[in-house]
Amino acid sequence: MTKETIYSFNSAYRGDFAVKAYRFNKGEKSCCIVGALRGNEIQQLYVCSKLIKALGELERQCRISYNHEIMVVPCVNPFSINIGKHFWSADNRDINRDFPGNPSGEPTQRLAAELLSKVSGFQYGIQFSSFYIQGDFIPHVRLMETGRENKSLANLFGLPYVMVRKPRPFEETTLNYSWQMNNTIAFSLYTSATEHLDEESANIAVASVLRFLSRMGIIKYQCHGGYIATTMDEEGLMPVTAGVGGIYKRLKKPGDEVVQGEVMAHILHPYEGTVLEEVKAPSNGIVFFAHGSPLASENLVLFKLIKRLKN
């Protein structure tokens, strides 16, 4: 394992800014794994740290295949991680909306351009991502439908679901999209948490990446088969929204099965504690996403369901 700084600059008010990368083995650029791009992506950082530890052990045991290089970038935004800020600490820009970047632009655009230059050329790219709405997911692989995505390879992670979505215009400035435009087969992996550690889903994420690397012949690693993934279009998910605003008391979590009419959450009056709304399941299904903040506003998406037909 070698550790290097792939981007840095001096800061007048803090220590120098530095993005670190960990390289395993030498040879063809086989796989690059990127963790936290935002300051609240603690789970994503944690998963990368566990992967670095696992890959380091595999390298010591000579179980990374000959002529295959793996690179892990655990954190792209250490300043914001340090102060617990979601976006860029100086001007609140989102790095994952600044790709492919601009070497002469704003700090986040320069960072995005430099990062993309360092992570391009790899055959496979894996990003541990977070959603724009605060909440928890069933662990899954997400693909952007660019015409260059590979659904069959996404199944090799052995996660229960592969979610496919058509990119919106603002998503054409993300790392995943830019990777694909630079001929890297890119995947976004979502675990069950973002701002807190979830050990179970972190272990699932690490196992899924090692399973993928093993099945692609990049590492020599014995793993269980995982799931036979269900591939879905994200537009097929059923949103469940809040009818009123208030304190949100969640009763269901990702992976839970619900039946039509079952109460999934309560919206409470913030001053009086009375129940303003019982949020009920509009259909039989499985909870795929659940909002995580303790507050809810009117019309906010609280859950997304994988709809099931009635028995």
Count the domains in the chain. 2
Residue 225: the pLDDT is 79
Q: Does residue 33 or residue 130 have the better pLDDT?
A: 33
Q: Is the pLDDT of residue 84 over 90?
A: no
List all residues 6 or more positions away from 271 whose beta carbon is below 8 Å from its beta carbon: none
Q: Are 75 and 22 in contact (CB under 8 A)?
A: no
- Mean pLDDT, the chain, rounded, equals 93
Same domain, 165 and 280: no
Which of 111, 181, 159 lies closest to 288, judged by CA? 159
- Chain mean position to CA 17: 23
Distance (Å, whole) CA 141 – CA 280: 28
Q: Is the pLDDT of residue 215 over 90?
A: yes
- Give the pLDDT band of residue 126 (cuts 50, 70, 90): very high
Same domain, 226 and 266: no
Which of 20, 104, 17 lies closest to 8, judged by CA? 17
Same domain, 163 and 243: no
The CATH number assigned to the domain holding 154 equals 3.40.630.10
Domain extent for 109: 2-233
Same domain, 245 and 211: no
Between helix 199-215 and helix 42-60 the angle, nearest 10°, is 50
pTM for the model: 0.91
Residue 14: the pLDDT is 67
Residue 223: the pLDDT is 81
- Give the pLDDT band of residue 205 (cuts 50, 70, 90): very high
Same domain, 101 and 155: yes
> What are the tens digits of pLDDT across the range 229-250?
999 999 899 999 999 999 999 9
Same domain, 164 and 300: no
Same domain, 261 and 128: no
Distance (Å, whole) CA 21 – CA 34: 9
> What are the tens digits of pLDDT across the range 15-35?
788 999 999 999 999 999 999
Q: Is the pLDDT of residue 310 over 80?
A: no
Same domain, 62 and 207: yes
Which of 308, 240, 307 lies closest to 277, judged by CA? 240
Residue 192: the pLDDT is 87
Query: Side chain identity at 279, as an amino acid letter?
Result: V
Distance (Å, whole) CA 160 – CA 234: 14
Distance (Å, whole) CA 119 – CA 96: 14
- Give the pLDDT band of residue 90 (cuts 50, 70, 90): confident
- DSSP line for 168-203: PGGGGGSHHHHHHHTT-EEEEEE-S-SSS--HHHHH
Q: Is the pLDDT of residue 69 over 90?
A: yes
Q: Are 280 and 261 in contact (CB under 8 A)?
A: yes
Same domain, 277 and 154: no
The least confident of 11-15, 40-44, 214-218, 295-299 is 11-15
Residue 255: the pLDDT is 93
List all residues 6 or more positions away from 60 whose beta carbon is below 8 Å from its beta carbon: none
Q: Which of 216, 233, 250 is the last residue of a domain?
A: 233
Q: Which of 184, 207, 233 is the last residue of a domain?
A: 233
Strand ranges inside the chain, DSSP E:
2-9, 17-24, 28-36, 68-75, 124-128, 135-137, 140-144, 161-165, 185-190, 230-233, 238-241, 246-250, 257-258, 263-268, 275-280, 285-291, 295-296, 301-307
Same domain, 84 and 175: yes
Q: Which of 186, 217, 233 is the last residue of a domain?
A: 233
Q: Is the pLDDT of residue 78 over 70?
A: yes
Distance (Å, whole) CA 138 – CA 79: 29
The CATH number assigned to the domain holding 298 equals 2.40.50.100
Residue 131: the pLDDT is 81
- Give the pLDDT band of residue 13 (cuts 50, 70, 90): low
Same domain, 160 and 285: no
Which token pair is 255? Answer: 């992976």
Same domain, 143 and 254: no
Distance (Å, whole) CA 272 – CA 119: 52
